């Protein structure tokens, strides 16, 4: 393999690492709903991690589940920024979005990455020219990560002893068991080993501790038991929300007095929230009674 091929291969490997393993991360500093091209709405909660896969003048391209949407820069604050610089190793040019040459680049010239594309980067030259440059003509020379602490207003969780649950029997036991887990870490796919995801908390309480054979996912849980109206909610009922834009994707245990306990991906822990909060009020889907 000649030097040019080896160089191109090295560039591709480095760029694949950059593209798939070193994305910017951020935190949503405000609730946000974004409509996809197919008409579905994707919801983001204050404090939720933003998985940023690209950036442009229009905003950040954020991934949630299988959906990718562009959200305004003002809704997200970066917590980790990766800055990459490249050196031109083959004669090439910098082009605009219409694939028109802005100017030719010289070998050895350094470029700063603005965002990553498919086989190219949006780059800025030392004299301020911005445009697209083929990755095959570049060599990654440096990569620096900077972290910034983001403070968002968190919901205060009251101590469990301050809750007066107006229920008895297994319904009260279910709420009490869930409240015992307040502050536990949100861990996707977990039912109590290291933490809980939303349906994992329900599964842990109802199946593992009360012996009630519930399905594992929130979508399936929403079909289990007796359907009850929102106006007829009682402590111990399961309440379901559409937070992804694709049907039921979140669940909590109703406590009474308009409050529910749940494992929040946005707050990264088990918390108590009010059903009247705009985020949950507008995303409420249904409720079931299994006790």
**pLDDT given at position 19:** 42
Whether domain 3-147 has CATH 2.30.30.40: yes
Active site residues per annotation? 198, 250, 262
DSSP-derived secondary structure letter, 204: I
Instruction: Tell me the C-alpha distance between 121 and 113, whole Å.
Output: 6
| Of 110 and 79, more confident | 110
Domain extent listing, the chain: 3-147, 165-289
Place of tokens 């990755």: 135
Residue 74 pLDDT class (50, 70, 90 cuts): confident
| Of 215 and 118, more confident | 215
Q: Looking at the chain, how many residues does it have? A: 291
Query: Average pLDDT, stretch 208-225?
Result: 93
The model's pLDDT over 120-151, given as tens digits with 9 standing for 90+, comes to: 999 999 999 999 999 999 999 998 877 766 66
Query: Average pLDDT, stretch 16-33?
Result: 64
pLDDT reading at 156 higher than 50: no
**Mean pLDDT (the chain, rounded):** 85
**pLDDT given at position 238:** 98
Query: Average pLDDT, stretch 26-40?
Result: 80
Of all residues in the chain, the percent with pLDDT exceeding 90 is 52
Strand positions, DSSP E, the chain:
25-28, 32-35, 41-44, 49-56, 59-64, 67-71, 76-88, 92-95, 101-105, 110-116, 120-125, 130-134, 138-147, 226-228, 238-241, 250-256, 259-264, 269-274, 284-289
Closest CA to 279 of 9, 30, 17: 30
The model's pLDDT over 178-187, given as tens digits with 9 standing for 90+, comes to: 998 998 999 9
Read off the tokens for 81: 């920024």
**111 within 8 A of 88, measured Cβ to Cβ:** yes
Instruction: Tell me the C-alpha distance between 255 and 238, whole Å.
Output: 10
pTM equals 0.52
Residue 11 pLDDT class (50, 70, 90 cuts): very low
**278 within 8 A of 31, measured Cβ to Cβ:** yes
**50 within 8 A of 76, measured Cβ to Cβ:** yes
The 3-state DSSP class for residue 118 equals coil
**70 within 8 A of 78, measured Cβ to Cβ:** no
Q: Is 264 left (phi over 0), alpha (psi -120 to 50) or beta?
A: beta
**pLDDT given at position 2:** 44
**pLDDT given at position 38:** 76
* Fold for the domain defined by 165-289: endopeptidase fold (from Nostoc punctiforme) (3.90.1720)
Read off the tokens for 233: 């909610």
**pLDDT given at position 188:** 93
**pLDDT given at position 13:** 42
Name the range with the highest mean pLDDT among 77-86, 120-129, 155-164.
120-129
């Amino acid at each position: 393999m000649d030097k040019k091929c080896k160089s191109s291969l090295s560039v591709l490997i480095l760029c694949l690492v950059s593209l798939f393993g070193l994305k910017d991360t951020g935190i949503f500093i405000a609730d946000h709903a974004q409509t996809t091209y197919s008409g579905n709405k994707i919801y983001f909660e204050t404090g939720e991690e933003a998985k940023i896969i690209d950036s442009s003048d229009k905003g950040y391209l954020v991934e949630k589940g299988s959906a990718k949407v562009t959200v305004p820069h003002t809704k997200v604050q970066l917590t980790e920024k990766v800055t990459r610089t490249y050196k031109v190793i083959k004669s090439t040019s910098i082009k605009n979005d219409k694939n028109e040459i802005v100017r030719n680049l010289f070998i050895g010239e350094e470029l700063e990455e603005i965002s990553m594309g498919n086989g190219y980067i949006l780059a800025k030259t030392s004299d301020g020219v911005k445009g697209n440059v083929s990755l095959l003509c570049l060599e990654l020379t440096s990569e620096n990560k900077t972290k910034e602490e983001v403070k968002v207003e968190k919901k205060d969780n009251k101590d469990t002893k301050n809750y007066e649950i107006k229920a008895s029997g297994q319904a009260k036991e279910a709420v009490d068991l869930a409240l015992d887990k307040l502050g536990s870490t949100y861990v996707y796919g977990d039912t109590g080993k290291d933490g809980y995801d939303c349906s994992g908390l329900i599964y842990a309480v109802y199946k593992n501790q009360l012996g009630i054979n519930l399905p594992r996912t929130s979508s399936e849980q929403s079909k289990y038991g007796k359907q009850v109206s929102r106006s007829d909610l009682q402590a111990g009922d399961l309440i379901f929300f559409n937070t992804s834009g694709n049907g039921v994707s979140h669940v909590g245990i109703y406590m009474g007095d308009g409050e529910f306990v749940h494992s929040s991906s946005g707050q990264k822990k088990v918390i108590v929230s009010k059903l009247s909060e705009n985020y949950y009020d507008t995303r409420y889907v249904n409720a079931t009674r299994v006790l």
